[in-house]
Structure formats: C-alpha cells, structure tokens
Amino acid sequence: MSITLNSPLDMHLHLRDKEMLTLVAPLSAKTFSGAIIMPNLVPPISTKEELLAYKSRILEATKGQTFKPYMTLFFKPTYTKEFLENFEDELTAIKLYPAGITTNSEGGVAGFDVEELRPTLTAMSELNIPLCVHGETNGFVMDREAEFVSIYEMLATNFPKLKIIMEHITTKESVEALDRFENLYATITLHHLLLTLDDVAGGMLQPHLFCKPIAKRPEDREALRKIAFASHPKVMFGSDSAPHPQHAKESCGCAAGVFTAPIAIQVLTELFMKHSTIENLQAFISGNAQKIYNNLKVPKKIITLEKEAFLVPKIYGNVVPLYAGETINYSIKEIES
C-alpha cells in the first residue's frame, strides 16, 4: 500500500555553511518542499545582506531540486520596524536564543527584560513576523525548559499579537503552556518523539543521541507524542536536524545535535501509521505549519512511501545520521515535484 505526503515542511532546520551546507542541504531538499533555516552561523545572520547571501548559497547547494529555504534572522533587541520592513518577503521569522544556550548562540539574549525587548517585538507583531524561541534557561539540564515557561508566558502576555513558536519542545510543561496562551505555538522534532534520557545515557552513553534540549523523561515524551499524533493545530514538525562532523560527536566534549534530515519522513510515517493516521501526519508535517506561518507559499512536492525495509547509511559524508547502519521500515518510492 502506497502512502503519499504533500509538500512536507521542516519548520526548524540547521544547514550550516560551506562544505557542510553542500553535504546536508540536498538531503533535506530531496524530501522536503521547504524548511525554516536557522540563522546561528558564525557570525549569526543579522543583516539583509547576510540573509540574502546565505539564501543564495542554499539555493546553489540545492540547485535542480524543488526546495524553498524560509530565511530567518538571529534575534537582536535593536532591530527597528524600518529595518525589518526592508526585508519584504525575504524574512519568514526571527529566531531568539538565550545567550550561550546552544551551538553558536553566544550573541543571544542575556536576561529577558521586557522593556529592552519591546521595540523589536512590537515591530514584529505589527509586521506579523513570527518569533521562534529556543526556550531554555541556564538552570539544571533537566529543568531548563520547564523553567523557561514563565518567560514564554511573559512574552505571550506582553505581546499578544506576536506569534511565538516554542521550538523543539521536550517537556509536558511546554505542552501544557501551549493551550494556555492563544499566541503560543510549537515545533516538535522526530528525535524527541523517539527518545528519552534513557536512550542517551541509560545504557552506554550515546553521543549521536545527545542534543539540546536534551531528551527528557518518559512522561514528557508521552505528552509530546499525544499532541503530535493528534495533530494538534498549534504544533508542527521541525526536525532540528543538526549535523556535526563525526569527530565532533565521538570525542571528549561531544557537540549537541541529532542528524535526522535524510530519514525523518520515513520514520515519521512509521510512527504515525502505528500510532495515528497519515492524515494527521499530513497536518503535522505541512498543513499546520502553513496556517501558523500566515498561509505560507509552499512548493508542490508529492512523496510516495511504501512499507519496505530501508538500510540507513552508516554515514553521509562525515555526518552520522540517526539509525546509522540500522534498518527502518518505510522507504521513499517516488518524489514528484
């Protein structure tokens, strides 16, 4: 039995730059119609010139493929309305990082003073530009996201017209917050639907499953699965696929990030066929995001899958994917665009 998915979107993607960009962008562009591209390069994307140049590099890396990179800026509280208006259609969202909280986030927000943030967030509200947030405090690793919920609430209350997207949520506290405020939305990754801390550190330590936010408790994963499988209209798929070279993962001081781009659609299909319906996956992986992102224009792409074993490569270039060398149960049979 064939399964089709229309115009899948990855609403949270790291493509990096240079050789890594060249390696990973085509892997996302193969199966996704488009993706929200994270701006945490070194230095982070914070001008129109940088954004357009990065977009060109992405288009160059995905030449001949049907793939739309939805570009984002690295949040700074100094962005004015005029500055943001000048991006016209080139800017899809702005990503806010607390300072130092994850890979290349050193220039992020330190402290969350509402008055300091007000001018930029007011401008974004008026221009209807969504704010994507990496929501972790610098507290204890298992508490960071739950502690950040009060900051989400502060933002949601003070900027009721701002669409705030809680990126890669991992806890039941974030799931509960979703329904308390009309203007809170969320992305959920594939790996947080699959993993708990047990998978990362319960047996041997597994560097390729180490990510930020770290996978949490079984009841947290259950809360995520519940809203994802029900295709809650305020949640959407964002892989947070984050490639690092193998040596940076398998070493003393392993970098955070799970590389899921090449297998995300196949594994999501398996999960939803087992626990939900393909209609709900269609909404989770495309429909919800289009609505949340103000009727996003999406390139047409039809993915046909079948229940057929697929042996995941042990490595793509120098990047080890999730399920490296293992067999997954769905394969992509046809891609039409």
Q: Which sequence positions are flagged as catalytic?
A: 240
From 110-118, 145-153, 186-194, 213-221, give the range in contact with a copy of itself by CB under 8 A.
213-221
Q: Report the residue from 8, 26, 44, 207 that binds a copy of itself according to the rule CB under 8 A.
A: 207
Residues in contact with a copy of itself, shown as a per-residue x/- string from 86 to 125 under the rule CB under 8 A: ----------------------------------------
Residues in contact with a copy of itself, shown as a per-residue x/- string from 130 to 149 under the rule CB under 8 A: ----------xxx-------
Q: Are strands 184-188 and 235-237 parallel, antiparallel or unpaired?
A: parallel
CA angle 321, 325, 326 (to 5 degrees): 100
Instruction: Give the nearer residue to a copy of itself in terms of CB position, either 165 or 320.
Output: 320
Instruction: Give the nearer residue to a copy of itself in terms of CB position, either 141 or 154.
Output: 141
Assess 256 for contact with a copy of itself (CB under 8 A): yes
Instruction: Give the nearer residue to a copy of itself in terms of CB position, either 200 or 235.
Output: 200
H/E segment holding residue 269: helix 264-275
Distance CA 227, CA 153 (A): 20
CA dihedral 101, 52, 7, 262 (to 10 degrees): -50
Instruction: Give the nearer residue to a copy of itself in terms of CB position, either 31 or 241.
Output: 241
Instruction: Give the nearer residue to a copy of itself in terms of CB position, either 92 or 170.
Output: 170
From 75-83, 150-158, 208-216, 283-291, give the range in contact with a copy of itself by CB under 8 A.
208-216
Q: Which two tokens stand for residue 242?
A: 């984050």
CA dihedral 299, 235, 321, 308 (to 10 degrees): -70
Question: What 3-state class would DSSP assign to 109?
Answer: strand
Q: Report the residue from 57, 76, 217, 275 that binds a copy of itself according to the rule CB under 8 A.
A: 217
Residues in contact with a copy of itself, shown as a per-residue x/- string from 293 to 332 under the rule CB under 8 A: ---------------------------x------------
Identify whether the C-beta of residue 197 lies closer than 8 Å to the C-beta of residue 206: no
Nearest to 130 by CA among 310, 248, 291: 291
H/E segment holding residue 126: helix 114-127
Assess 251 for contact with a copy of itself (CB under 8 A): yes
Question: What 3-state class would DSSP assign to 7?
Answer: coil
Nearest approach, Cβ of residue 252 and a copy of itself (Å): 5
Which residues, listed in sequence order, are joined to residue 164 by a DSSP beta bridge?
131, 184
Instruction: Give the nearer residue to a copy of itself in terms of CB position, either 3 or 324.
Output: 324
| 213 cis-preceded (ω within 30 degrees of 0) | yes
Identify whether the C-beta of residue 171 lies closer than 8 Å to the C-beta of residue 223: yes
Assess 43 for contact with a copy of itself (CB under 8 A): no
Identify whether the C-beta of residue 13 lies closer than 8 Å to the C-beta of residue 238: yes
Distance CA 214, CA 197 (A): 7
Inter-CA distances, 172 with 143, 149, 156, 267, Å: 12, 11, 18, 23
Q: Report the residue from 49, 82, 111, 253 that binds a copy of itself according to the rule CB under 8 A.
A: 253
Q: Report the residue from 3, 52, 254, 273 that binds a copy of itself according to the rule CB under 8 A.
A: 254
Nearest approach, Cβ of residue 248 and a copy of itself (Å): 9
Instruction: Give the nearer residue to a copy of itself in terms of CB position, either 137 or 304.
Output: 137
Q: Report the residue from 255, 281, 296, 332 that binds a copy of itself according to the rule CB under 8 A.
A: 255
Q: Report the residue from 17, 198, 308, 336 that binds a copy of itself according to the rule CB under 8 A.
A: 198
Question: What 3-state class would DSSP assign to 185?
Answer: strand
Binding site for a copy of itself (CB under 8 A): 140-142, 196-198, 200-202, 204-208, 210, 214, 217-218, 249-256, 320
